[in-house]
């Protein structure tokens, strides 16, 4: 390879269509298309209230792909890409004390400035894997040997991500410049060669500048909608993929063909339906590179599917942190009567709905069938958020209540006692009252009283966990609420007043009841950590109480059948709806398809956040079927089509403990609380910490627990330890 990149070349513009994707920094689903993402949808008139003082909002979940994703496919004219000439003839000399076998476990992301459309995808895939990284804006910060190499000669980075292969930005109308000059490119390449550091280009139109990948553009075959087909080499590189074709939508894609170049070895990983190359690894002069020719965005399915494998390839499967995936589904309001939507009127039926004994037994059987139907599903079970005020603990324990006559005071209570170990039972307060403004004795009764009822029923409860009604008490509330209407229906308008407006009585009652994990609303900005999307939030009133966010979906709280689910959805999103979005009314299959696409995106994110639905959604509308399980199956069907990584389901107490440890670990990495250096000569990672102990997870560690094709070991680090690793 030459160290003198071309000063000027021609190529299709990297940004013209791709800049459309810059507008795709839309709110993370499930954001609402409306100013407030949670509203009470009451049609033309206020809907009647529910029994047990229980009413709900309808979560407005972003229904599909924003218009910004509608990428046009106009043919583009060639433009000019300028690689600025550096002030030297070659790369800056690397230090004489070089230790090329030692690299820090951190990734460098090179960005082309504030308008860089690829930075979101780079940050997302690294954050989801827990990989520490630094971003260098190459338009404002020079790239020098000191940037890349520590004073002791150790490499600062184990991998390099280019947001696009030439770090392109529009320097003047019609012209595109690289953010690195010829010397900086040469310095980067010399570092990668000396330290055997892999380079990942998240997007590019491969030509010969700033380097040659052994690929040439096939003009006139660009596309924004198609399939990415995984080659045999692709299955070896992306060890988590099933090999099924990956649908690509709304992302401009260049296509290429192999070109014989002396010294360059190129291996296609992904191809389009015509066999053109859209991703490949390429080696030259001892350097390993991977280039994608499709634009990436963290909200698009192809980026979500590929992200895990790209990070593992870049790091050789050795990095701080881990990426795991979870299938957590909560069912709220068990034992209560709930509203039921009437498709004929668009309002509520006069009769409320409560699960029958046969509905409940079917829910158990449905989760068992789902768990057995997929290799990727591990011990799936619903988490049942129960309100004991609607139960009767004196009802006989049995799964056949029809046989016992007057001994059955309440059939749902009887079969719930029988299924005490079949679900994860979680405290949802005794009566589902709103807790935004509630005194301490009432708050205590709501929480501790429900634990007492669960004990009387013999339920195997997650005793450290709590979900309040409407996620109330955490500052997302009607600011005029004075606490006199806690039994009323849903109070609107709600505003995000921040966790500082949480009800201190709720926090005190929860901690006094030994609660440590409190569900929050992932749709509310103050109730999740945007700086660490996989972290929980220690409550500011009491750091021993950790908020665990939950996602809503588009299976509304008051629907019990496919007809009701579809009619309620269309009332919002079909033409003429309250939040009209689609150009036609959906049928049930379309509803499941669209919403499961959002749901599967949450799985690929690697967050442990549950999706919550309601007891109404578990009605057995046909033998062995409910809209809740239909939704879960639709999500898992999509997931299992592409990925082999296991989906874990944890009991809420275990989930909270996992999130708590993970949060401490991520915060320790963010503050550089310890160092991690990989000595490739000994295949050991040296972890060093002075001070108090911090949790550490090391993927690639020998003797760790297996997840997919990689091992990960959890450690508590308080000094210096050497950990053997097994790179892939």
Q: Dihedral angle at the C-alpha atoms of 481, 484, 487, 488, nearest 10 degrees? A: -60
Domain assignment of residue 31, yes or no: no
pLDDT of residue 92: 66
Q: Distance (Å, rounded) from C-alpha 52 to C-alpha 433?
A: 8
| Average pLDDT score over residue span 181-189 | 95
* Cα Dmax for the chain: 94
| Average pLDDT score over residue span 118-126 | 96
Average pLDDT, the chain: 89
Task: Report the range of poorest mean pLDDT among 119-123, 144-148, 477-481, 534-538.
Answer: 477-481
Domain assignment of residue 6, yes or no: no
| Average pLDDT score over residue span 134-156 | 96
Tokens of 36: 């407030």
Domain assignment of residue 492, yes or no: yes
pLDDT of residue 560: 98
Q: Give yes or no: residues 429 and 499 share one domain.
A: yes
Q: Confidence class of residue 29 from pLDDT cuts 50, 70 and 90?
A: very low
Q: Distance (Å, rounded) from C-alpha 506 to C-alpha 509?
A: 5
Bridge partners of 246?
Answer: 228
Q: What is the CA radius of gyration of the chain?
A: 27
Q: Give yes or no: residues 492 and 580 share one domain.
A: yes
By DSSP bridging, strand 159-162 and strand 198-201 are parallel
Q: Distance (Å, rounded) from C-alpha 111 to C-alpha 93?
A: 23
pLDDT of residue 466: 98
pLDDT at 51 over 50: no
Report which of residues 88 and 266 the model is more confident about: 266
Q: Give yes or no: residues 238 and 283 share one domain.
A: yes
Which residue range forms the structural domain that includes residue 639?
38-62+324-653
Contact residues for 657 (Cβ-Cβ < 8 A; gap 6+): none
Domain assignment of residue 72, yes or no: no
CATH number of residue 516's parent domain: 3.20.20.370
Q: Is 454 helix (H, G, I), strand (E, B) or coil?
A: helix
- pLDDT for 246-256, tens place per residue? 999 999 999 99
Q: Which of 11, 77, 10, 21 is nearest to 252 (CA)?
A: 21
Domain assignment of residue 26, yes or no: no
Q: Give yes or no: residues 186 and 278 share one domain.
A: yes
pLDDT of residue 57: 58
pLDDT at 519 over 80: yes
pLDDT of residue 40: 25
CATH number of residue 204's parent domain: 3.40.50.880
Q: Give yes or no: residues 305 and 367 share one domain.
A: no
pLDDT at 625 over 80: yes
Report which of residues 321 and 79 the model is more confident about: 321
Q: Distance (Å, rounded) from C-alpha 489 to C-alpha 40?
A: 10
Tokens 């324990």: give the residue.
Answer: 397
| Average pLDDT score over residue span 604-620 | 97
| Average pLDDT score over residue span 1-14 | 33
Q: Give yes or no: residues 248 and 301 share one domain.
A: yes
Q: Are 240 and 304 in contact (CB under 8 A)?
A: no
pLDDT of residue 492: 72
Q: Distance (Å, rounded) from C-alpha 374 to C-alpha 357?
A: 27
pLDDT of residue 606: 93
Tokens of 383: 């988490």
pLDDT of residue 56: 59
Q: DSSP state, 532?
A: S
Residue count (the chain): 728
pLDDT at 380 over 90: yes
pLDDT of residue 493: 83
| Average pLDDT score over residue span 599-627 | 97
Domain assignment of residue 50, yes or no: yes
Q: Give yes or no: residues 305 and 428 share one domain.
A: no
Q: Are 124 and 302 in contact (CB under 8 A)?
A: no
Report which of residues 90 and 218 the model is more confident about: 218
Helix (H) or strand (E) holding 684: strand 684-688
Report which of residues 520 and 209 the model is more confident about: 520
Overall domain count for the chain: 3
pLDDT at 148 over 90: yes
Domain assignment of residue 368, yes or no: yes
Q: Are 239 and 312 in contact (CB under 8 A)?
A: yes
Q: Give yes or no: residues 471 and 498 share one domain.
A: yes
| Average pLDDT score over residue span 53-77 | 46
Q: Confidence class of residue 346 from pLDDT cuts 50, 70 and 90?
A: very high
Report which of residues 205 and 138 the model is more confident about: 138
| Average pLDDT score over residue span 470-478 | 96
Which of 274, 289, 320 terminates a domain? The answer is 320
Contact residues for 212 (Cβ-Cβ < 8 A; gap 6+): 1, 261, 264, 284
Q: Give yes or no: residues 635 and 682 share one domain.
A: no
Report which of residues 448 and 50 the model is more confident about: 448
In three-state form (DSSP H/G/I as H, E/B as E, the rest C), the secondary structure along 556-600 is CCCCCCHHHHHHHHHHHHCCCCCCCCCCCCCCHHHHHHHHHHHHH
pLDDT at 25 over 80: no
pLDDT of residue 554: 96
| Average pLDDT score over residue span 366-393 | 97
- pLDDT for 286-302, tens place per residue? 999 999 999 999 999 99
Q: Give yes or no: residues 411 and 530 share one domain.
A: yes
Burial 500-534 (b: 16+ CB within 10 A, else e): ebbbebbbebbbebebbbbbbbbbbebbbbeebbb
Q: Give yes or no: residues 274 and 334 share one domain.
A: no
Q: Which of 627, 708, 693, 726 is nearest to 242 (CA)?
A: 708
Q: Are 453 and 393 in contact (CB under 8 A)?
A: yes
Domain assignment of residue 647, yes or no: yes
Which of 320, 343, 372 terminates a domain? The answer is 320
Q: Give yes or no: residues 376 and 286 share one domain.
A: no
- pLDDT for 30-48, tens place per residue? 322 222 222 222 222 222 2
Tokens of 411: 């059939």
């Amino acid at each position: 390879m030459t160290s003198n990149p071309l000063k000027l070349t021609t190529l299709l513009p990297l940004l013209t269509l791709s800049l459309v994707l810059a507008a795709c920094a839309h709110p993370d689903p499930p954001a609402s298309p409306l100013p407030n993402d949670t509203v009470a949808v009451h049609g033309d008139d206020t809907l009647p209230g529910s029994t047990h003082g229980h009413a709900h909002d309808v979560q407005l979940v972003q229904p599909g792909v924003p218009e910004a994703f509608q990428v046009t496919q106009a043919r583009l004219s060639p433009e000019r890409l300028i690689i600025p000439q550096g002030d030297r003839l070659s790369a800056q000399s690397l230090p004489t004390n070089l230790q090329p076998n030692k690299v820090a476990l951190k990734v460098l992301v090179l960005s082309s400035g504030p308008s860089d459309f690829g930075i979101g995808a780079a940050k997302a895939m690294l954050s989801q894997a827990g990989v520490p990284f630094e971003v260098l804006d190459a338009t404002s910060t020079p790239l020098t040997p000191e940037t890349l190499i520590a004073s002791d000669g150790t490499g600062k980075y184990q991998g390099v991500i280019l947001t696009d292969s030439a770090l392109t930005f529009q320097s003047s109308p019609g012209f595109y410049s690289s953010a690195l000059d010829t010397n900086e490119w040469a310095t980067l390449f010399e570092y990668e060669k000396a330290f055997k550091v892999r380079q990942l280009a998240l997007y590019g139109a491969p030509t010969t500048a700033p380097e040659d990948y052994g690929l040439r553009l096939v003009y006139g075959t660009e596309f924004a909608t198609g399939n990415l087909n995984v080659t045999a080499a692709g299955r070896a590189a992306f060890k988590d993929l099933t090999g099924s074709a990956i649908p690509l939508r709304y992302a401009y894609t260049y296509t290429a063909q192999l070109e014989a170049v002396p010294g360059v070895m190129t291996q296609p990983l992904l191809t389009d339906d015509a066999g053109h190359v859209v991703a490949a690894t390429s080696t030259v002069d001892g350097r390993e590179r991977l280039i994608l020719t499709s634009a990436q965005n963290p909200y698009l399915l192809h980026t979500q599917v590929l992200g895990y494998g790209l990070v593992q390839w870049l790091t050789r499967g050795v990095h701080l942190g881990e990426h795991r995936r979870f299938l957590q589904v909560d069912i709220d309001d068990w034992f209560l009567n709930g509203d039921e939507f009437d498709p004929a009127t668009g309002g509520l039926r006069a009769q409320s709905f409560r699960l029958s004994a046969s509905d409940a037994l079917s829910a158990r059987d449905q989760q068992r069938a789902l768990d057995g139907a997929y290799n990727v599903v591990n011990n799936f079970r619903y988490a049942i958020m129960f309100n004991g005020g609607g139960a009767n603990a004196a009802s006989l324990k049995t799964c056949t209540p029809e046989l016992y006559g007057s001994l059955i005071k309440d059939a749902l209570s009887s079969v719930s006692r029988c299924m005490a170990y079949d679900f994860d039972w979680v405290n949802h307060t005794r009566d589902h009252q709103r807790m935004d403004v509630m005194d301490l004795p009432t708050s205590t009764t709501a929480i501790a009283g429900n634990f007492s009822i669960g004990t009387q029923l013999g339920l195997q409860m997650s005793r450290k966990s709590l979900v309040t009604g409407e996620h109330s008490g955490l500052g997302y509330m009607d600011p005029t609420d004075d606490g006199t209407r806690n039994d009323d229906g849903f109070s609107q308008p709600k505003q995000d007043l921040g966790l500082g407006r949480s009800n201190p009585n709720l926090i005190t009652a929860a901690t006094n009841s030994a609660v440590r994990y409190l569900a929050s609303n992932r749709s509310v900005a103050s109730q999740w950590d945007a700086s660490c999307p996989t972290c929980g939030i220690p409550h500011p009133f009491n750091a021993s109480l950790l908020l665990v966010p939950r996602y809503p979906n588009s299976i509304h709280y008051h629907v019990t059948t496919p007809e009701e689910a579809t009619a309620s959805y269309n009332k919002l999103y079909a033409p003429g709806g309250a939040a009209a979005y689609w150009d036609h009314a959906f049928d049930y299959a379309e509803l499941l398809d669209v919403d499961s696409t959002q749901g599967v995106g949450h799985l690929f994110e690697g967050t442990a956040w549950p999706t919550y639905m309601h007891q109404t959604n578990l009605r057995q509308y046909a033998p062995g079927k409910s809209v809740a399980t239909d939704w879960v199956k639709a999500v898992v069907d999509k997931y299992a089509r592409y990925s082999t990584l296991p989906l874990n389901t944890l009991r809420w107490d275990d989930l909270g403990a996992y999130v708590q440890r993970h949060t401490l670990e991520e915060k320790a990495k963010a503050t550089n609380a310890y160092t991690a250096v990989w000595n490739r000569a000994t295949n050991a990672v040296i972890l060093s910490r002075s001070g108090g102990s911090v949790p550490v997870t090391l993927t690639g560690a020998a003797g760790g627990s297996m997840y997919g094709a990689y091992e990960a070991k959890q450690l508590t680090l308080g000094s210096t330890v050497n950990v053997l690793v097994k790179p892939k």
